Structure 1
Amino acid sequence: HKYDGLIITGAPVETMDFEQVTYWEELKDIMEWSKTPIFSTFHICWGAQAGLYYHYGIPKYQLPEKKFGVFAHKLNKERNIKLLRGFDDVYYVPHSRHTEVRREDILKDSRLTILSESEESGVYIVTAMHGRQVFVMGHPEYDPLTLKREYERDLAKGMDIKPPRNYFPNDNPTQPPVVSWRAHAHLLFANWLNYYVYQETPYILE
Protein backbone atom coordinates (compact mmCIF):
# COMPACT_ATOMS: atom_id res chain seq x y z
CA HIS A 1 0.00 0.00 0.00
CA LYS A 2 1.13 3.54 -0.73
CA TYR A 3 -0.03 6.68 1.04
CA ASP A 4 -0.13 10.22 -0.29
CA GLY A 5 1.34 12.17 2.63
CA LEU A 6 2.11 11.90 6.32
CA ILE A 7 2.23 14.61 9.01
CA ILE A 8 4.24 13.99 12.20
CA THR A 9 3.24 16.64 14.73
CA GLY A 10 4.83 18.18 17.78
CA ALA A 11 4.48 16.92 21.35
CA PRO A 12 5.15 18.42 24.82
CA VAL A 13 8.16 16.16 25.43
CA GLU A 14 10.90 18.30 23.93
CA THR A 15 12.94 18.76 27.13
CA MET A 16 13.36 14.97 27.38
CA ASP A 17 15.98 13.04 25.47
CA PHE A 18 14.41 11.36 22.47
CA GLU A 19 15.19 7.92 23.87
CA GLN A 20 13.31 8.78 27.10
CA VAL A 21 10.02 9.35 25.28
CA THR A 22 7.83 6.32 25.96
CA TYR A 23 6.76 5.90 22.34
CA TRP A 24 10.16 6.62 20.76
CA GLU A 25 10.61 3.07 19.46
CA GLU A 26 7.18 3.14 17.81
CA LEU A 27 7.87 6.57 16.31
CA LYS A 28 11.19 5.32 14.93
CA ASP A 29 9.34 2.48 13.23
CA ILE A 30 6.87 4.95 11.69
CA MET A 31 9.65 7.27 10.48
CA GLU A 32 11.55 4.36 8.96
CA TRP A 33 8.39 3.07 7.29
CA SER A 34 7.66 6.57 5.92
CA LYS A 35 10.72 6.43 3.67
CA THR A 36 9.11 3.89 1.34
CA PRO A 37 5.32 4.13 0.81
CA ILE A 38 4.84 7.85 1.58
CA PHE A 39 5.27 10.45 -1.17
CA SER A 40 6.17 13.20 1.33
CA THR A 41 6.32 13.48 5.13
CA PHE A 42 5.74 16.83 6.85
CA HIS A 43 7.33 17.07 10.33
CA ILE A 44 6.22 19.86 12.72
CA CYS A 45 8.18 21.32 15.69
CA TRP A 46 9.19 18.42 17.99
CA GLY A 47 8.24 16.09 15.17
CA ALA A 48 10.77 17.94 12.99
CA GLN A 49 13.46 17.68 15.65
CA ALA A 50 12.70 13.98 16.05
CA GLY A 51 12.85 13.39 12.31
CA LEU A 52 16.15 15.23 11.89
CA TYR A 53 17.61 13.30 14.82
CA TYR A 54 16.41 9.89 13.66
CA HIS A 55 17.18 10.22 9.95
CA TYR A 56 20.32 12.42 10.10
CA GLY A 57 21.63 12.43 13.68
CA ILE A 58 20.97 16.16 14.17
CA PRO A 59 20.88 16.91 17.94
CA LYS A 60 18.57 19.34 19.72
CA TYR A 61 19.73 21.85 22.32
CA GLN A 62 18.04 23.34 25.36
CA LEU A 63 17.29 27.07 25.03
CA PRO A 64 18.08 29.43 27.93
CA GLU A 65 14.45 30.55 27.84
CA LYS A 66 11.38 29.47 25.93
CA LYS A 67 11.19 30.67 22.31
CA PHE A 68 7.68 32.05 22.46
CA GLY A 69 5.95 34.39 20.05
CA VAL A 70 5.62 35.29 16.38
CA PHE A 71 8.89 35.94 14.53
CA ALA A 72 9.97 37.28 11.15
CA HIS A 73 11.52 34.78 8.70
CA LYS A 74 13.37 35.09 5.42
CA LEU A 75 13.95 32.77 2.48
CA ASN A 76 17.39 31.31 1.84
CA LYS A 77 16.77 29.94 -1.63
CA GLU A 78 15.39 31.39 -4.82
CA ARG A 79 11.61 31.52 -4.84
CA ASN A 80 11.15 29.02 -7.67
CA ILE A 81 11.34 26.27 -5.05
CA LYS A 82 7.80 24.96 -5.13
CA LEU A 83 7.37 24.70 -1.37
CA LEU A 84 7.98 28.46 -1.07
CA ARG A 85 6.00 29.52 -4.13
CA GLY A 86 4.13 32.77 -3.42
CA PHE A 87 6.02 33.57 -0.21
CA ASP A 88 6.98 37.16 0.59
CA ASP A 89 10.61 38.07 1.26
CA VAL A 90 9.73 38.37 4.96
CA TYR A 91 6.88 36.47 6.62
CA TYR A 92 5.82 35.53 10.15
CA VAL A 93 5.50 32.25 12.04
CA PRO A 94 4.52 31.34 15.63
CA HIS A 95 7.04 29.47 17.77
CA SER A 96 6.57 27.85 21.15
CA ARG A 97 9.45 25.62 22.23
CA HIS A 98 12.21 25.08 24.78
CA THR A 99 14.74 23.49 22.40
CA GLU A 100 16.31 24.13 19.00
CA VAL A 101 18.35 22.58 16.23
CA ARG A 102 21.34 24.57 15.01
CA ARG A 103 22.12 25.60 11.48
CA GLU A 104 25.80 24.64 11.77
CA ASP A 105 24.85 21.00 12.44
CA ILE A 106 22.45 20.95 9.49
CA LEU A 107 24.94 22.59 7.12
CA LYS A 108 27.41 19.77 7.80
CA ASP A 109 25.06 17.29 6.10
CA SER A 110 24.84 17.80 2.34
CA ARG A 111 21.59 15.82 2.22
CA LEU A 112 19.80 18.63 4.08
CA THR A 113 18.79 22.06 2.72
CA ILE A 114 17.76 25.02 4.87
CA LEU A 115 15.05 26.86 2.93
CA SER A 116 14.07 29.46 5.51
CA GLU A 117 15.21 30.79 8.87
CA SER A 118 14.87 33.66 11.30
CA GLU A 119 17.45 35.86 13.02
CA GLU A 120 15.45 35.54 16.24
CA SER A 121 14.09 32.00 16.15
CA GLY A 122 16.69 30.19 14.05
CA VAL A 123 16.20 27.46 11.46
CA TYR A 124 12.60 27.13 10.25
CA ILE A 125 12.20 24.95 7.12
CA VAL A 126 14.59 22.13 6.16
CA THR A 127 14.04 19.67 3.33
CA ALA A 128 15.65 16.41 2.23
CA MET A 129 15.16 13.77 -0.46
CA HIS A 130 13.95 16.38 -2.98
CA GLY A 131 11.05 17.35 -0.75
CA ARG A 132 10.04 13.87 0.30
CA GLN A 133 10.98 14.96 3.81
CA VAL A 134 9.98 18.42 5.10
CA PHE A 135 10.98 19.61 8.58
CA VAL A 136 9.25 22.72 9.97
CA MET A 137 10.48 24.01 13.35
CA GLY A 138 7.64 26.41 14.16
CA HIS A 139 3.87 26.20 14.37
CA PRO A 140 2.30 27.61 11.19
CA GLU A 141 -0.81 25.55 12.00
CA TYR A 142 -1.59 27.51 15.20
CA ASP A 143 -4.99 29.16 15.33
CA PRO A 144 -5.31 32.83 16.43
CA LEU A 145 -5.64 32.03 20.15
CA THR A 146 -3.23 29.11 20.62
CA LEU A 147 -0.34 31.21 21.94
CA LYS A 148 -2.76 33.07 24.23
CA ARG A 149 -4.04 29.81 25.68
CA GLU A 150 -0.50 28.52 26.20
CA TYR A 151 0.49 31.76 27.93
CA GLU A 152 -2.53 31.66 30.25
CA ARG A 153 -1.95 27.97 30.96
CA ASP A 154 1.67 28.58 31.99
CA LEU A 155 0.69 31.57 34.13
CA ALA A 156 -1.91 29.42 35.89
CA LYS A 157 0.87 26.93 36.69
CA GLY A 158 2.81 29.72 38.39
CA MET A 159 5.53 29.75 35.75
CA ASP A 160 7.65 32.85 35.24
CA ILE A 161 6.91 33.45 31.57
CA LYS A 162 6.86 36.56 29.42
CA PRO A 163 3.98 37.25 27.02
CA PRO A 164 4.52 35.81 23.52
CA ARG A 165 6.47 38.31 21.46
CA ASN A 166 5.00 40.21 18.49
CA TYR A 167 1.57 38.76 19.23
CA PHE A 168 -0.44 41.06 21.49
CA PRO A 169 -0.67 44.74 20.42
CA ASN A 170 2.03 46.62 22.36
CA ASP A 171 2.78 43.28 24.10
CA ASN A 172 -0.33 43.86 26.19
CA PRO A 173 -2.01 40.51 27.01
CA THR A 174 -5.33 42.23 27.74
CA GLN A 175 -5.69 43.12 24.06
CA PRO A 176 -6.83 40.67 21.35
CA PRO A 177 -3.86 39.12 19.52
CA VAL A 178 -2.99 40.10 15.96
CA VAL A 179 -2.72 37.25 13.45
CA SER A 180 0.18 37.85 11.05
CA TRP A 181 0.94 34.29 9.89
CA ARG A 182 -2.32 32.94 8.46
CA ALA A 183 -1.67 33.59 4.75
CA HIS A 184 1.77 31.98 4.72
CA ALA A 185 0.57 29.04 6.80
CA HIS A 186 -2.08 28.34 4.16
CA LEU A 187 0.50 28.75 1.39
CA LEU A 188 2.95 26.35 3.03
CA PHE A 189 0.42 23.55 3.47
CA ALA A 190 -1.20 24.18 0.08
CA ASN A 191 2.17 24.09 -1.70
CA TRP A 192 3.17 20.91 0.11
CA LEU A 193 -0.11 19.16 -0.66
CA ASN A 194 -0.14 20.30 -4.28
CA TYR A 195 3.49 19.98 -5.40
CA TYR A 196 4.89 17.29 -3.08
CA VAL A 197 1.86 15.08 -2.46
CA TYR A 198 -0.88 15.47 -5.09
CA GLN A 199 1.35 15.96 -8.16
CA GLU A 200 3.69 13.16 -7.06
CA THR A 201 0.91 10.65 -6.43
CA PRO A 202 0.04 8.46 -9.43
CA TYR A 203 -3.57 8.40 -10.57
CA ILE A 204 -3.87 4.74 -9.70
CA LEU A 205 -2.29 3.56 -6.44
CA GLU A 206 -1.20 -0.05 -6.53
Structure 2
Amino acid sequence: MLLSKLFGIYPAETINSESPIARGFGAGGLLKMPQSRHTGIVLDEDHLPNGLTIDVSSPKTGPIILSATDRHSTYITGHPEYSEETLALEYYRDLYEQMPIRLPQNYFIDQDSGTVDYSWKASSIQIYDNWTKIIANQKVGLSI
Protein backbone atom coordinates (compact mmCIF):
# COMPACT_ATOMS: atom_id res chain seq x y z
CA MET A 1 0.00 0.00 0.00
CA LEU A 2 1.16 3.50 -0.80
CA LEU A 3 0.92 6.34 1.72
CA SER A 4 -1.16 8.29 -0.78
CA LYS A 5 -2.83 7.37 -4.04
CA LEU A 6 -0.64 7.40 -7.17
CA PHE A 7 -2.92 9.57 -9.24
CA GLY A 8 -2.26 11.47 -12.45
CA ILE A 9 -0.40 11.34 -15.73
CA TYR A 10 3.21 10.17 -15.53
CA PRO A 11 5.87 10.20 -18.25
CA ALA A 12 8.10 7.18 -18.78
CA GLU A 13 11.77 7.82 -18.22
CA THR A 14 13.12 4.44 -19.28
CA ILE A 15 12.00 2.73 -22.48
CA ASN A 16 13.40 -0.53 -23.85
CA SER A 17 13.91 0.34 -27.52
CA GLU A 18 14.10 -3.38 -28.39
CA SER A 19 10.58 -4.02 -27.13
CA PRO A 20 7.83 -4.30 -29.78
CA ILE A 21 5.25 -2.78 -27.39
CA ALA A 22 7.47 0.29 -26.96
CA ARG A 23 8.05 0.90 -30.69
CA GLY A 24 7.73 4.50 -31.69
CA PHE A 25 8.65 5.92 -28.30
CA GLY A 26 11.89 7.44 -27.20
CA ALA A 27 13.06 8.16 -23.69
CA GLY A 28 12.39 11.55 -22.18
CA GLY A 29 8.69 11.53 -21.46
CA LEU A 30 7.21 10.80 -24.88
CA LEU A 31 5.17 7.93 -23.44
CA LYS A 32 2.67 9.13 -20.85
CA MET A 33 0.36 6.92 -18.83
CA PRO A 34 -2.56 7.60 -16.49
CA GLN A 35 -2.14 5.98 -13.08
CA SER A 36 -4.76 5.59 -10.39
CA ARG A 37 -3.88 3.15 -7.65
CA HIS A 38 -3.22 2.77 -3.96
CA THR A 39 -0.55 0.09 -4.32
CA GLY A 40 3.03 0.13 -5.46
CA ILE A 41 4.70 -2.47 -7.63
CA VAL A 42 7.57 -4.17 -5.89
CA LEU A 43 10.00 -5.91 -8.22
CA ASP A 44 13.65 -6.72 -7.85
CA GLU A 45 14.71 -5.64 -11.33
CA ASP A 46 17.93 -7.66 -11.03
CA HIS A 47 16.00 -10.86 -10.28
CA LEU A 48 12.88 -10.86 -12.42
CA PRO A 49 11.06 -14.13 -13.07
CA ASN A 50 12.38 -15.96 -16.15
CA GLY A 51 11.32 -14.29 -19.37
CA LEU A 52 9.81 -11.18 -17.77
CA THR A 53 11.23 -7.85 -18.94
CA ILE A 54 10.44 -4.29 -17.98
CA ASP A 55 9.77 -2.45 -21.23
CA VAL A 56 8.74 0.95 -19.88
CA SER A 57 9.20 2.46 -16.42
CA SER A 58 9.41 5.60 -14.37
CA PRO A 59 10.96 6.23 -10.94
CA LYS A 60 7.63 7.67 -9.77
CA THR A 61 5.44 4.78 -10.92
CA GLY A 62 7.77 1.84 -11.18
CA PRO A 63 7.20 -0.48 -14.13
CA ILE A 64 4.59 0.82 -16.59
CA ILE A 65 4.74 -1.96 -19.18
CA LEU A 66 6.23 -5.43 -18.71
CA SER A 67 6.26 -8.36 -21.09
CA ALA A 68 7.01 -12.06 -21.19
CA THR A 69 7.51 -12.83 -24.87
CA ASP A 70 7.71 -16.60 -24.41
CA ARG A 71 4.30 -16.51 -22.71
CA HIS A 72 2.83 -14.04 -25.23
CA SER A 73 1.99 -11.75 -22.31
CA THR A 74 2.00 -8.00 -21.84
CA TYR A 75 1.30 -6.32 -18.51
CA ILE A 76 0.32 -2.65 -18.30
CA THR A 77 0.17 -1.12 -14.85
CA GLY A 78 -1.53 2.11 -15.87
CA HIS A 79 -4.67 3.01 -17.73
CA PRO A 80 -4.10 3.80 -21.42
CA GLU A 81 -7.85 3.23 -21.91
CA TYR A 82 -8.78 6.29 -19.83
CA SER A 83 -10.61 8.99 -21.72
CA GLU A 84 -9.94 12.68 -21.27
CA GLU A 85 -12.38 13.11 -18.37
CA THR A 86 -11.85 9.85 -16.44
CA LEU A 87 -9.41 11.16 -13.81
CA ALA A 88 -11.50 14.30 -13.29
CA LEU A 89 -14.61 12.20 -12.65
CA GLU A 90 -12.66 10.03 -10.22
CA TYR A 91 -11.20 13.07 -8.45
CA TYR A 92 -14.57 14.81 -8.00
CA ARG A 93 -16.22 11.54 -6.94
CA ASP A 94 -13.62 11.03 -4.20
CA LEU A 95 -13.97 14.65 -3.08
CA TYR A 96 -17.75 14.25 -2.87
CA GLU A 97 -17.36 11.04 -0.85
CA GLN A 98 -14.85 12.87 1.42
CA MET A 99 -12.10 10.39 0.66
CA PRO A 100 -8.48 11.50 0.94
CA ILE A 101 -7.54 12.65 -2.55
CA ARG A 102 -5.00 15.00 -4.11
CA LEU A 103 -5.28 16.65 -7.48
CA PRO A 104 -4.16 14.29 -10.23
CA GLN A 105 -0.60 15.21 -11.18
CA ASN A 106 0.15 16.54 -14.67
CA TYR A 107 -3.55 16.43 -15.57
CA PHE A 108 -5.42 19.72 -15.21
CA ILE A 109 -4.35 22.74 -17.23
CA ASP A 110 -6.83 24.74 -15.17
CA GLN A 111 -8.66 23.02 -12.33
CA ASP A 112 -11.21 25.83 -11.90
CA SER A 113 -12.48 25.45 -15.45
CA GLY A 114 -11.87 21.68 -15.50
CA THR A 115 -9.60 22.01 -18.53
CA VAL A 116 -7.54 18.85 -18.97
CA ASP A 117 -4.23 18.30 -20.75
CA TYR A 118 -5.03 15.14 -22.74
CA SER A 119 -1.32 14.45 -23.05
CA TRP A 120 -1.55 10.63 -22.99
CA LYS A 121 -3.87 10.22 -25.99
CA ALA A 122 -1.10 9.75 -28.57
CA SER A 123 0.74 7.35 -26.25
CA SER A 124 -2.39 5.27 -25.75
CA ILE A 125 -3.04 5.06 -29.47
CA GLN A 126 0.58 4.02 -30.13
CA ILE A 127 0.50 1.35 -27.38
CA TYR A 128 -2.72 -0.18 -28.74
CA ASP A 129 -1.39 0.00 -32.29
CA ASN A 130 1.82 -1.78 -31.24
CA TRP A 131 -0.15 -4.35 -29.27
CA THR A 132 -2.45 -5.23 -32.17
CA LYS A 133 0.57 -5.57 -34.48
CA ILE A 134 2.21 -7.95 -31.99
CA ILE A 135 -0.95 -10.07 -31.84
CA ALA A 136 -1.42 -10.04 -35.62
CA ASN A 137 2.20 -11.02 -36.24
CA GLN A 138 1.96 -13.88 -33.72
CA LYS A 139 -1.21 -15.13 -35.44
CA VAL A 140 0.54 -15.41 -38.80
CA GLY A 141 3.83 -16.61 -37.32
CA LEU A 142 5.98 -13.58 -38.04
CA SER A 143 8.75 -12.64 -35.67
CA ILE A 144 8.56 -9.16 -34.26
Q: TM-score w.r.t. structure 2 length?
A: 0.86
Q: Which residue does the alignment assign to 2:105?
A: 165
User: Does the CA contact (< 8 Å) of 2:34 and 2:82 recur in 1?
Assistant: yes
Q: Decide whether the 8 Å contact of 1:94 with 1:181 is kept in 2.
A: yes
Asked if the contact 1:63/1:99 (under 8 Å) is kept, the reply is yes
Aligned alpha-carbon RMSD (Å) = 2.0
In the comparison of the two structures, how many residue pairs are matched? 139
Give distance in 1, aligned partners of 2:112 and 2:50: 43
- Whether 1:74 and 2:10 are equivalent positions in the alignment is no
Which residue does the alignment assign to 1:151? Answer: 91
1:156 CA displacement: 1.0
Aligned to 1:3: none
1:30 equivalent in structure 2: none
Q: Greater helix percent: which structure?
A: 1
* Alignment check: 8 A CA contact 1:168 1:178 kept: yes
Rg larger in structure: 1
User: What is the match of residue 112 of structure 1?
Assistant: 52
**Cα offset, 1:174, TM superposition:** 3.4
- Residue 97 (structure 1) aligned to one of 37, 41, 65: 37
Question: Counterpart of 1:185 in structure 2: which amino acid?
Answer: S
User: What is the Cα deviation at residue 81 of structure 1?
Assistant: 2.4
**Shift in alpha-carbon separation, 1:111–1:164, aligned structure 2, 3 A:** same
Aligned-pair identity in percent equals: 30
What is the alpha-carbon distance in structure 2 between the residues aligned to residue 137 and residue 180 of structure 1?
Answer: 18
Over 3 Å counting, the alpha-carbon distance change for 1:160 and 1:174 in structure 2 is farther
Which amino acid in the other structure matches residue 8 of structure 2?
G
Q: TM-score, normalised by structure 1?
A: 0.62
Please say if residues 107 and 113 of structure 1, whose CA atoms lie closer than 8 Å, have aligned partners that are also in contact: no
User: SS of the residue aligned with 1:107?
Assistant: coil
Gaps of 5+ in 2: none
Provide structure 1 residue ranges, at least 5 long, that are not aligned to the other structure: 1-61
- What is the CA distance between 1:106 and its match in structure 2? 7.8
Distance of 2:23 and 2:64 partners within structure 1: 16
| Displacement after TM superposition at 1:103 (Å) | 2.8
Cα 1:95–1:134 shift into 2, 3 Å: same
| Alignment match, 1:48 | none
Residue 123 of structure 2: aligned partner = 184
Structure 2 CA distance for aligned equivalents of residues 105 and 185 of structure 1: 25
